[in-house]
Amino acid sequence: MGLFVLRRVAQLVPTLFVIVSISFFIIRLSPGSPFTSERAIPPEVLADLEAKYGFDRPLMGQYFLYLGNLVQGDLGMSTKYPQMSVTEIISLGFPVTIQLGAVALVWALLLGVNGGIIGALRQNTKWDHGAMAVAMVGISLPTFVLGPLLVLVFALSLYIFPPGLWGTWRHILLPGITLGTAYAAYIARLTRGGMLEVVRSDFVRTARAKGLGELVITWRHMLKGGLLPVVTFLGPSTANMLVGSVVIEKIFATPGIGPYLVDAAFNRDYFLVMGIVLLYSLFLLTMNLVVDLVYGFLDPRIRFE
């Protein structure tokens, strides 16, 4: 397994290289520059501004300069916020986003897995239909509707939670639940489907024949197989949850990195765009690796070779 992980990690490097290279040139293709502004800037001043960030060099020169700096761990300076480095910006916002994502993930798993189990074990009963109906609503309800609804009820009508901002556990719940609910709904449906596939399988029948209790059978035997599709789904979606959400972080004004990529692209903040793309890619690739490893744990038929 050690070799497998090593090989996968080694594969990350060329993948990231391709991602970085493609995004570097794509963002440069977009019209306008970081310094395009509605107020005219004298050409001499503009030239100095561009020289400061190396934008006066030929594009290929800039590309190799960026790669060189990247290898040394230097992600560059933001052009929109010149007193901040990209590393600083990410290191300030990322912990917030991770906390929010973690709450969302826990919520999604708690609600989704339990809902799915209930649905599978009580197949075609009112429990099943109820849980799946709720899941359907969860999937269909966009976060930009659910978020404001939660704010309306819990922040502006009942005054239990603040309508936004950050700092205490009370600030994290509403955005966490908003972010996690849609995922919970998917997880519930996937768990139910996965569980239904194993519920009549031989090893479950054997377990029953051995006289094991229903709880042990469900948790120790069925869930392991039933969760496989969920795990596949969780890889990219955990990455999605943990790297934040533009809409939720705007609605709740949480100071995470969710809105940064879109804003940076609008501002042509080249290095910030690159930094965040890099972070997202790294995160997604890592989560996919984790999923592959979890497969091996859940399904003994899978071997790392």
Partner 1 sequence: MSFRRHHRATVVCGLVVSIAVAGCAPNGAPGYFGTVVPPHPPNEIWINNSNEPEYLDPGKLSDSAGSSLVWNMFAGLVQAHPQDLAPMPDVARSWDVSPDGTVFTFKLRDSQWSDGRALTASDFEWSWKRVVDPATASKYGSMMYVLRNAAPVNQRALWVRGVAWETGEEEEEVTASIAALFEEIAPVERVATAEWPERGAFVYLGGETEERAAYRDRAIEALDGRSYAGGALSVEVAGLDLIGVRALDDHTLEARLEGPIPYFINLVTFYTFLPVPRHLMEQLEAEGVDTERWTKPEHIVSNGAYNLVEHHFRYYYLFEKNPRYWDAASVRIEKVKTLLVESYNTSLNLYRAGEFDWSGRNGSLPSEFMAFLEPFRDFQRYPYGSVYFYWINTEAPPLDNAKLRRALSMAIDRQSIVDNVAQADQTPTADLVPDGLGGYEGLGTSIFDPEGAREVLREAGYASGADVPSFTLTYNTSEGHRQIAEAVQQMWKDHLGVEVQIENQEWKVYLKNLQLMDFEISRMGWILDYADPYTFLELLSEHNGNNHSNWSSPEYDELLLEANTLPDPAERLALFRKGEAMVRDAAPLIPFYVYTKSTMIKPYLMGFWGNYQDRHPWKYFWIDERWYDGVPEQTLPNDPPAHTPFS
Please report, as ranges, the residues that interact with partner 1 according to CB under 8 A. Answer: 30-33, 35-49, 52, 56, 80-84, 88-89, 92-93, 144-145, 147-149, 151-152, 155-157, 159, 162-166, 246-247, 250-253, 255, 259, 266-268
d(CA 288, CA 198): 24
Least Å distance, CB 130 to partner 1, is: 26
Q: Which is nearer to partner 1, 147 or 226 (CB)?
A: 147
Least Å distance, CB 47 to partner 1, is: 5
Terminal C-alpha separation, the chain: 7
Q: Which is nearer to partner 1, 266 or 297 (CB)?
A: 266
Least Å distance, CB 240 to partner 1, is: 19
CA distances from 185 to 116, 145, 189 (A): 9, 16, 6
Half-sphere exposure of 77 (CA within 13 A, CB side): 13
Least Å distance, CB 256 to partner 1, is: 9
Least Å distance, CB 152 to partner 1, is: 4
Token pair of 155 as six digits: 């922040």
Would you put residue 77 in left (φ > 0), alpha (ψ -120 to 50) or beta?
beta
Cβ neighbourhood burial of 265 (10 Å; 0-12, 13-18, 19+): middle
Q: Which is nearer to partner 1, 54 or 213 (CB)?
A: 54
Q: Which is nearer to partner 1, 109 or 150 (CB)?
A: 150
d(CA 64, CA 177): 43
Least Å distance, CB 52 to partner 1, is: 7
Q: Which is nearer to partner 1, 267 or 288 (CB)?
A: 267
Q: Which is nearer to partner 1, 9 or 45 (CB)?
A: 45
DSSP 86: H
d(CA 17, CA 33): 24
d(CA 70, CA 63): 10
